[in-house]
Chain A
Amino acid sequence: MNTTALIRLILRRDRVWQPLWILSVALFVATTVATIRELLPTQETILHYTNEIAKNPVILLLQGPAYGDSLGAAAAQQRGAATTIFAALASVILLVKHTRSDEEQGRRELVGSAAVGRHAPLTAALTVVLAANAVLAVLITVVGASAGLPMAGSLAWGLMAASAGWIGAALAAVAVQVTQRARVAGALAFTVFFAAYLVRGVSDLGGPGLQWLGWLVPNGWILRARAFGGERWWVFLLVAGFVVAMVGLAYALSARRDIGAGLVPPRLGPARAPNGLRGPFGLAWRTHRGTALAWIAGAAFIGAGIGLGGQTAVETFGQSGALDFWAGRTGADDPAEIFFKLVVYELAVYSVSLYAIMTVLRLRGDEAAELMLSGPVSRARWAAGHLLFAVAVPVVVLVIAGLGLGLGDGDFAGGLAMTTVIVPGVWVMAGIAVAAFGLFRRAGAVVGWTALALAIAMEVGWEVGLVSDSLFMISPFAHVHYSTLADPGPGTLLGLTLVAAGFAAAGLYGLRRRDLAL
């Protein structure tokens, strides 16, 4: 009864986000099928593609092998793993939001003082998130089937995505019992999921000899459902067993702890501030350093991984002829080279933009701003503390990634050139977020994320030929693109930097003139 009321509350609070993420993932599947159909128009090209996949370590690591030689199998190979990551990420975020975030911010206490069972909030959050993933499974099945893919494979793909969401939610349900901090709980749950994902990748890289490794982690079970390649339905029983075990653990832990507390007691901090903590910049360093270092470490890991293992394989794949049509569209002479550039570009541009926008929008959440800004600190200086990270960390991340790329063939300059040109494009995205935050206050987040979503949509549209070259040039990413469309010379890069600076200046001007949203 009261759990029902809490479920309704969650649905009300998430009436935008919940449908949005489910539809986005379903749409992603739909565009994937369309893209693959365009890229691999004949059975021969599909066969070629799937054969090459088996030799490509980066693709095996990040996406997994193809389990068939049909259009569906190729599509599921290309983007199936990505749908599992999206579903898991969304599920972790939503579960943490309705459990530990509520607890951290005191809302849980308000609910707990009403006639609500001790476990009701956890039950309500789990119910909503698990059900949302079931809806996602149905949607993906419908999308796949209506695109002409076999029904069974479409259902398997849907269940793969939903399984990832269920596993993410179950991991998050445990993580929120362990730590008191919502952000840490979310990071913990997703890191576990992603680490298991990479274990699966290593297993796939290692070939038959390492098959067993993949069976140790749930992510291995999910991909080995073999969508469109002789579906193995029983793996979903493993998933169900895992989810039940994790949820049981979460309830057991929840019953043993106080509300508001975690299993890990909070540590004491220093009684006095260290010398570096003197103002907005010192404070920004404390706020952002953890995330920034994690991104830099990730860039080093992925950059070096591609540099050491991936380059030759990607090039072999590019030369295979499977991508000649697509390479022609990008205006490249050498499909191998351009395909390598594509892999690097796609890995770098969206993730680093994501970081930059997230960092800019931390301004919005810096609620202690009232104390800071009642001191002798101008709004511009306060904002600059945060913005420094949005500007500088993308540079560091991309330089590190570029150096990593050079590890394989010693061509550090080439690696750096490939990644660092992206920087001004990312800056423009960050600049748009600053302008939106400064000029529109609360709408800042929506505008910032919409700008990124539009840029991605244009990119995807351009790749399949729906968006013309000149329209695509509106996007800042088109100017730092891997294709010959872009001319990332000093003039272009300077121009983008100036545009970014212009946006930022407009945002700071707006911020100086408007009321603060306190």
Chain B
Amino acid sequence: MPDVIRMRQLVKTFGRVRALDGLDMTVREGEVHGFLGPNGAGKTTTLRILLGLLRKDAGEVRLLGGDPWAEAVELHRRLAYVPGDVTLWPSLSGGEVIDLLGRLRGGADAKRRDELIERFALDPRKKARTYSKGNRQKVALIAALASEVELLLLDEPTSGLDPLMEAVFREVIAEERRAGRTVLLSSHILAEVEALCDRVSIIRDGRIVESGTLAQLRHLTRISVTAELARVPDNGLPHVHDLSVDGGRVRFQADTEHIGDVLARLAEYGVRDITAQPPTLEELFMRHYR
């Protein structure tokens, strides 16, 4: 599958601050790609470079086969963006903003627009200045989702939404994926990324520290095991970490690649009960930030 977004060794500095420091990332066609990182890691800067709002200092960036800086206008016909901090034109109503943004891209699907307004429970008649953060975000989301584009760039789109609306958001993104749209979803809500994304990139201090499918990422790390044994292992277990023994009960972390060996050794001590948990995304994420 062709790459929708490809960035190699991307660098962006603001004065002395190096916001992006050799960032490598690829988003493939038709995938929902999670872009994870805490505040200030460089997610928004990356998205703004992809939109041609900021200019890269070094490295290579391709978006939908073009140069996002030089060909911004043509490329923007094929994508829609939801900023992390949505500011609207205060004197326009929400419905007017949605229509304006849709018309900029050559007209949005009117039926889809009305359906989304209904699902997100937005009052489109209110003036933008009276909307809360969540409602401003809904306006930008509806405008983006109602336009028929190939790529959605979403910068922490659910940070102001309530849990009900977050559920609606997840449904809608799942539909978008089935329809074959590519989505780059920046977020720090791990459950959301785990539920929605095919692949994940984790950014730290302007670099990607981990990238792949959730299965691949899990493979790189450890499984948590708790077991009830008949006998206590006298001289430890190979390939395990953080082993703790409490009577016949042991807890440890095992390297995923050696899990077979570990289970074979455990069997020698008479397993009465065992639970093994794959690492959660949270554990994967925390590993890079501890």
Contact = CB atoms under 8 A, between A and B. Distances in A.
**Interface of chain A, helix or strand or loop or mixed?**
loop
B76 A375 contact: yes
B100 interface: yes
B67 interface: no
B93 A374 contact: no
B125 A271 contact: yes
B93 A371 contact: no
B143 to A, nearest CB: 8
B89 A268 contact: no
A270 interface: yes
B76 A104 contact: no
Contact of A371 (B48, B91, B140): B140
A286 interface: yes
A371 B96 contact: no
Interface stretch (A39-47, A275-283, A299-307): A275-283
B89 to A, nearest CB: 5
Contact of B103 (A180, A269, A279, A378): A279
Contact of B125 (A268, A368, A372, A375): A268
A262 B104 CA distance: 34
A270 B93 contact: yes
A38 interface: no
Contacts of B140: 371
B42 to A, nearest CB: 15
B170 interface: no
B68 to A, nearest CB: 11
A377 B104 contact: yes
A271 B97 CA distance: 10
A105 to B, nearest CB: 10
Contact of B54 (A272, A375, A516): A516
A271 B81 CA distance: 22
A515 interface: yes
Contact of A268 (B99, B105, B127, B129): B127
Nearest to A279: B104
A271 B110 CA distance: 13
A518 B127 contact: no
A104 B140 CA distance: 20
A371 B139 CA distance: 11
Contacts of A286: 89, 91-92
Question: Which residue among A269, A372, A373 has the maximum number of chain B CB atoms within 10 Å of its CB?
Answer: A269
Nearest to A261: B130
Contacts of B126: 266, 268-269
A376 B93 contact: no
Nearest to B143: A371
A279 B54 CA distance: 22
A15 interface: no
A271 B79 CA distance: 24
Interface residues of A, number: 35
B244 interface: no
A287 B91 contact: yes
Contacts of A377: 73, 76, 104
Interface string B76-106: 1101110100111111110111111101110
A279 B100 CA distance: 7
B73 A378 contact: yes
A516 B100 contact: no
Interface in A349-395: 367-368, 370-378
A377 B74 CA distance: 9
Given A370-B87, A376-B74, A269 B53 contact: no
A237 interface: no
Contacts of A378: 72-73
Nearest to B126: A268
B124 interface: yes
Contacts of A516: 48, 53-54
A12 interface: no
Contacts of B81: 371, 374
A363 to B, nearest CB: 14
A84 B250 CA distance: 84
Contact of B127 (A104, A266, A372, A373): A266
B53 A374 contact: yes
Contacts of B92: 269, 273, 277, 283, 286
A371 B54 contact: no
B183 interface: no
A266 B130 contact: yes
A267 interface: yes
Contact of A272 (B79, B80, B86, B99): B99
A368 B140 CA distance: 11
B124 A371 contact: no
Contacts of A376: 73-74, 76-77, 104-105
B36 to A, nearest CB: 22
A170 B195 CA distance: 56
Given A269-B92, A277-B96, A516-B53, A372 B48 contact: no
A181 interface: yes
Contacts of B95: 269-273
B102 to A, nearest CB: 9
B28 interface: no
Interface string A414-456: 0000000000000000000000000000000000000000000
Interface in B98-125: 98-101, 103-105, 124-125
Contacts of A373: 51, 53, 72
Contact of A104 (B51, B73, B129, B153): B129
Interface in A251-301: 266-274, 277-279, 282-283, 286-287
Nearest to B75: A376
Contacts of B83: 370-371, 374
B177 interface: no
Interface of A: 104, 180-181, 266-274, 277-279, 282-283, 286-287, 367-368, 370-378, 513-516, 518
Given A273-B100, A375-B101, A378-B73, 19 more contacts: A180-B130, A266-B126, A266-B127, A266-B129, A268-B126, A268-B127, A270-B125, A272-B124, A273-B95, A277-B100, A371-B83, A371-B101, A373-B53, A374-B51, A375-B104, A376-B105, A377-B73, A514-B55, A515-B53
The 9 residue pairs across chains A and B that have the minimum distance between CB atoms: A269-B93, A273-B99, A374-B81, A375-B104, A271-B95, A273-B96, A268-B125, A376-B76, A376-B77
